[in-house]
Amino acid sequence: MSRSRKPSPPPAAIGRDAARTPVTRRQALGFLGAAALTAGGLSLGLPSALAAPRRARRPNFVFILTDDHRYDMLGAAGHPFLRTPHMDRLCREGVRFENAFATTALCSPSRASFLTGQYASVHGVTSNFSRWDENRNVTFLRHLKRAGYDTAFVGKWHMPGGDLPRLPEADLFVSFTRKDGQGDYFNCPLYVNGRLTPNRTPYITEELTEYALDFVRQGHRNPFCLYLSHKAVHHDWKPPRHLRGRHRHADLSFLAPESDRYNTLSGLNWLEGTLGNMHDVYRRYCECLESVDEQLGLLLAALEAKDLLDDTVVVYAGDNGYLWGEHRLYAKHYPYEESIRIPFLVRAPGVVSGAGWRVSRMVLNIDLAPTLLDLAGLPVPAAMQGESFAPLLRSPSAPGRPAFVYELFRDFPFGGRVPPHQAIRTESHKLIEWEMCRPPELYDLRRDPREMNNLCGTPAGDRLAADLSRELEALRRRFHIRRGAGRCASA
């Protein structure tokens, strides 16, 4: 992958940000449409023939982010019963990155990494209770806004829980807040540019999509970027009524051998558990995910109806994975594959030279921001630690990164019994270094993809672990990652 540093010619500016005063949804969108017309160099009362010539249009961007969506839960990934025809369409008409990862398998840190292109050690959102520093952190939306894009952030913010930032780089900012920042599946209060706004649709996935559709259907003279951030498929998994019970008789014998029917409130996960056994929860999770796919279909249809789909880069991803009994664990936090791998789907007409590609190179959540700026022809700031994967969209055989760092900080009380740790993941191996003197773990991912055979303690394993530990330290220094985990690993 490469980092694009070559700036493109500056587009027409969209003008000065309006003062942020509470407005209704329709007022916000109406203002956005008017601002877009003015920004495009067209006076509202003048015919288009009198407008200044327009430069070649940059692509639109639509980024859809879901919560806790694990990498292999797609129809296109061979799931036994999940119906995800619209996600499958993105795979069929674009690229599916089969080895995509969150650098921190936890909601808030991962979301901050998508927005900033930085590791949690750098952007500072290290847990679900860390505060977002508006003065310190710069989102890719801000760079796009300065370059003339119309911008919208719709959905879950979750940094910090219980409050929302000003986010002046978003022309439209729709989100929800509650003491934990998670929102609710039904009748969730929404704030539209700072004003509490009555619900139009009771189910949150559908409600957020309606705002996204309103934004897409505006008469944009500028290119636009929509960031649609769903609550689904986070705990406590309440599917819409028309999908409830769809998979109540689904055969779950394919789940990991360690999976069982114990109540998810037990063991280490009682704060993230829910009533019912793990199999019941898994079925509801699938039903919530199918609702997301339905709404993705509406968004793609709206882009097609406006003749915008082939001018728009559509990216779909999850913020982290999810363990469904593997290693007798549940939820996320842990550095194992099921927890850290995410779906990452890209439809990019005019960029992807083929269709239906499955790319095995490793990409990360921190790569989204530099990639979108690269595709917009904008320079990638040096502060971004991710790398543009645009070369992989053009050729799946393009070089990729050889390794990356995974990090998890203390997240009490959620995951409070998971020791902080760091890991290095290469294309073939993973070394995990834990705090609190927990022994290190080393896995050969090609021979042991389920990470069941720890090679530490064997002569060959210890030699490889020493090499990987040195490489991990080099990556820490390169990316300014705080060294907290692993102090006891070599003791």
What pLDDT, on a 0 to 100 scale, did the predictor assign at position 437? 72
Residues 40 and 86 in one domain: yes
Give the chain's residues under pLDDT 50. Answer: 2-55, 485-491
Query: Quick one: 172 and 251 in the same domain?
Result: yes
Shared domain check, 426 and 398? no
Is pTM, for the whole model, over 0.85? yes
Alpha-carbon dihedral of residues 443, 446, 448, 450, nearest 10 degrees? 90
Residue 274 has a pLDDT of: 63
> Is the residue at 194 inside a domain?
yes
Percent of the chain with pLDDT over 70: 81
Question: Which of 372, 402, 432 is the C-terminal boundary of a domain?
Answer: 402
Same domain, 395 and 428: no
In angstroms, the CA 257 to CA 346 distance is 32
Q: So what's the pLDDT on residue 57?
A: 82
Q: Is 155 helix (H, G, I), strand (E, B) or coil?
A: strand
**Partner residues linked to 175 by β-bridges:** 191
Domain that holds residue 171: 25-402
Contact 422, 406 (CB under 8 A): yes
Do 396 and 441 belong to one domain? no
- Report yes or no on 17 lying in a domain: no
Would you tell me the crossing angle of helices 107-116 and 368-375 to the nearest 10 degrees? 20
Predicted pLDDT at 160: 72
**CA dist., res. 349 & res. 308, Å (int):** 11
In this structure, the answer to whether residues 236 and 383 fall within a common structural domain is: yes
299-315: pLDDT as tens digits: 999 999 999 999 999 99
Using alpha carbons, list the distances in angstroms from residue 159 to 95, 175, 271, 280.
30, 11, 20, 30
Residue 223, in any domain of the structure: yes
How far is it, in rounded angstroms, from Cα 483 to Cα 476?
Answer: 7
For 96, the enclosing helix (H) or strand (E) is: strand 95-101
In a domain, 282, yes or no: yes
Domain stops at, among 377, 402, 427: 402
pLDDT in tens, 163-189: 788 899 999 999 987 655 788 999 999
The CATH number of residue 169's host domain is: 3.40.720.10
Long-range contacts of 271-277 (CB under 8 A, 24+ apart): 271/413, 271/414, 272/235, 272/330, 272/331, 272/414, 272/415, 273/330, 274/235, 274/236, 274/237
Structural domain total, the chain: 2
- Point out the domain boundary residue: 338, 370, 402: 402
Phi, psi of 71 (to 5 degrees): -60, -35
Same domain, 373 and 462: no
- Asked if residue 1 is part of any domain, the answer here is no
Asked if 375 contacts 59 with a C-beta cutoff of 8 angstroms, the reply is: yes
Omega before 160 within 30 of 0, i.e. cis:
yes
Is the same domain home to 426 and 453? yes
Residue 19 lies in a domain: no
Reading across the β-sheet that carries 403-408, which strands appear in turn? Answer: 403-408, 421-426, 429-434, 441-444
Do 341 and 439 lie in one domain? The reply is no
Q: Is residue 15 included in any domain, yes or no?
A: no
Phi and psi (nearest 5°) for 47?
Answer: -70, 155
Whether 253 and 398 map to the same domain: the answer is: yes
Same structural domain, 447 and 371: no
> What string of H, E and C letters represents the secondary structure of 1-66?
CECCCCCCCCCCCCCCCCCCCCCCHHHHHHHHHHHHHHHCCCCCCCCHHHCCCCCCCCCEEEEEEE
Answer whether residue 18 is part of any domain.
no
